[in-house]
Amino acid sequence: MNQPARVLSPVPSPASARSAMERIAAQLGRAVQGKEAQAQLVVTCLVAGGHLLLEDVPGVGKTTLAEALARACGLSFARVQFTADLMPADILGAQVFHAQSATFQFRPGPLFRQLVLADELNRAPPRTQSALLEAMAQGQVSLDGATYPLPAPFTVVATQNPVDFSGTYPLPDSQLDRFMMRMSLGHPAPEVESRLLATRGGVPPLDAVESVSGPEEVASLRALAAELKLDGAVADYVVQLATATRQHGDIERGASTRAVLALGAAARAQALWESRDFVTPGDVRALLVPCWAHRVLLRSAVQGVSARDEAAHLLEEISRKVPAPR
């Protein structure tokens, strides 16, 4: 488990918040090159207090990215490989009998870390998925009548393979809704791959990542983001977008209220990238697809990549049609 290398002072202003977020994103860029936009999204999601769903084929750096985030932010980190036989106790922890004191003592599972990577989440049985998702929603674990708070800040980065669904338990919509953002990394550009090959020569990418922040700073960033002004017109705009998804002919189920709140929180964090202490419609539009594409259910029964692309396409169409406040 990584410990923060140094404790930084709380973030006082949007300008210094931007600086801190850029520092973190730069470290992510060292681990996963050529993915600046995705790195920025990951940091936004972290600052907004949301959980991230990485959906991509194996080998593009999902795990690296999550681990790099933990290291850059100085967060305690655990990686759990979700498999078909993974039980809830494997991630939550268990009551263990202590022979000397003749009592049961709680032994925390890997979930009791500040950043948990749930690798291939869809391979675990629903019980285990539910245990994780409950912890994501509540920020605590309930076991044998006792409640154990999770460490703050607590963030889950889950991955799933979008093409190989055999023997998996696809996440239900209600559980997908718990993730603030869903994103794909995609293969790096050929020149980036060439550079990787030429420069690293097998050196683990995480070694290049330095700890440039700490849990206190992340908590401060989250507190600052939560306080940013979201004008009534922008709030109306978010609601109008949600209404448009609910009324769209090609969408079976539109954005939920949780989705509306998530988009608002994410937009607040997004505003910090511009050193702003208020949210603009542009912040909302920028995060519409990452925040909502996995939450809307299309009428067509298409699964996988094409469904996600179609959802993104519909959301972009909606953002063009719904007039933004001026």
Partner 1 sequence: MRSSLRMVLRDLGAGAAFASMGVSGQLPVWTLVLYGLALVCALFGRRLFGQREKLTALLLLVVAAVLGMNVLAGSLNLVVAACAFAGLISAHRLLSHPGPATDGQVHLSGLLMVAGGAALTGELVYGLCLVAFSVLSSMSLALGVVEEAVPEGEPVPVREVMSPLAKGLAFAVAGAVAFFILFPRLNWNMMGLRASPGLGAATAGFSNTVRLGGTGNIKGNPRIVLRATLDPDPEKEELEAYWVGRTYDIFDGQEWTSIGGARGSGDWMVTLRPGSEGLVHQRVELLPAYGARTLVALETPSRLGNAAVHSQTGSRRARIQELGGGEVRFLDPGIAFSYEAYSLPPGGSGDSFQKLPSEEQDALLNLPQKLDPRVAQTAARVLNGEREPLAAARKLAAWLQRDFTYTLELGGDVEDPLADFLFERKAGHCEHFATALTLMLRTQGIRARLATGFFGGERVNDSYVVRAGDAHAWTHVLVPGRGFVTVDATPPAHRASQAAQILEDLLSFYESLEERWRSAVVDYSFRDQLDVARALVRPPRGQDDDGAPSRLPPLRAWASAFVAGAVAYFVWRRMSRFLERERPHDATRFVDAVEAQLASARLERREGEALEELDARLARERHPLSPALSPITRRYLEARFGGRPLRKGEAAELLGTLKRAIAADARRAAEEARVPRARAS
Q: Which residues of the shown chain bind partner 1 in the complex (CB under 8 A)?
A: 229, 231, 233-234, 276-282, 320, 324-326
Compute the least distance from the CB of residue 280 to partner 1, in Å: 5
The runs of H, that is alpha helices, within the chain are 14-31, 36-47, 62-73, 88-92, 126-138, 173-176, 190-199, 215-227, 232-247, 257-272, 281-292, 305-321
Least Å distance between CB 120 and partner 1?
Answer: 37
Amino acid at 289: V
Q: Give 148 or 278: the residue with its C-beta nearer to partner 1.
A: 278
**Sign of torsion over alpha carbons 297, 268, 219, 74:** positive
Is 226 in contact with 265 (CB distance < 8 Å)?
yes
Name the residue nearer to partner 1 (CB basis): 68 or 286. 286
- Given the complex with partner 1, which of 44 and 63 has the nearer CB atom? 44
121 φ, ψ to 5°?
Answer: -55, -35
Task: Name which of 112 and 237 has its Cβ closer to partner 1.
Answer: 237
Residue 238 CB, nearest approach to partner 1 (Å): 13
Q: What is the dihedral of CA 236, 237, 239, 243, to 10 degrees?
A: 130
CB of 137 to partner 1, least distance (A): 30
Taking the CA atoms of residue 82, residue 86, residue 90 and residue 95 in that order, the dihedral angle to the nearest 10 degrees is 160
Output the smallest distance, CB 319 to partner 1, in A. Answer: 8
The residue type of 130 is S
Nearer to partner 1, 14 or 50 (CB): 14
Contacts of 138 (CB under 8 A, 6+ apart): none
Q: How far apart are CA 57 and CA 321, in angstroms?
A: 33
Q: Which is nearer to partner 1, 24 or 286 (CB)?
A: 286
Minimum distance from CB of 273 to partner 1 (Å)? Answer: 11
